Structure 1
Amino acid sequence: MANTASARKRIRQTAIRNERNRARRSRVGTFLTKVEKAIASGDQAAAKAAFQDAQPEMQRAATKGVLHLNTVSRKLSRLSARIKALGAAAQG
């Protein structure tokens, strides 16, 4: 149990930050799920639109320190490649 005022304040701050970060991580997951569903459906236009919505949310999570920047970059790169492959599969 925290004995000092600063320790009690730190506990309050940590709880608030934890809740905020959990919400942000959950939000990113929701956007990723939408992109995955669009890719699975095979609709490149829908996948691109979902990707455009997910991208700033993921970058924001990286900026806030919820996710590592390299993790976000890797995920975006792989999603982008999969969406691009949808177009190539449709043409060829």
Structure 2
Amino acid sequence: MANTPQAEKRIRRNDRRAAINKARVSRIRTYVKKVESAIEAGVQADAAAALQAAQPEMMRGVSKGVLHKNTVARKIARLAKRVKALA
């Protein structure tokens, strides 16, 4: 239980930020799933387009501090490798 007004405010702020960050991560996961489903379908053009849409979202997650930059770089590299293998 918070003992000071500032601690109460921090709890409220942390709850708001957690909701925003959760939505951001969920959005990124959705984009990644679209790329993976296109890869599974085997359509290289669709997979490449989905990857082009997913990359800015993933990098935005890095700039907002939701994901680590190396994690996103690794995921983008692995997805790009799988998309390239379809050709």
Using the aligned pairs only, state the percent identity: 57
Q: 2: CA distance between counterparts of 1:71 and 1:64?
A: 14
2: CA distance between counterparts of 1:61 and 1:12?
Answer: 22
Question: Following TM superposition, by how much is the alpha carbon of 1:3 offset from its aligned partner in structure 2, in angstroms?
Answer: 1.4
Shift of residue 59, structure 1, vs aligned partner:
0.2
Show CA shifts across 1:3-38 (max 9, x none): 111001100110001000000000001000000000
Instruction: Flag the structure with larger Rg.
Output: 1
Give the match for residue 61 of structure 1: 61
SS of 2:49's partner is: helix
User: Is the counterpart of residue 3 in structure 1 residue 27 in structure 2?
Assistant: no
How do residues 1-92 of structure 1 correspond to structure 2 at under 5 angstroms?
Answer: 1-87=1-87
Superposition deviation, residue 52 in structure 1:
0.6
| Secondary structure in structure 2 of the residue aligned to 1:2 | coil
Q: Which portions of structure 1, spanning 4 or more consecutive aligned residues, are displaced by more than 6 angstroms?
A: none
Instruction: Give the Å deviation of 1:71.
Output: 0.2
TM-score w.r.t. the length of structure 2 is 0.98
Q: Say how many residue pairs are matched.
A: 87
**Structure 2: which 5+ residue stretches go unaligned?**
none
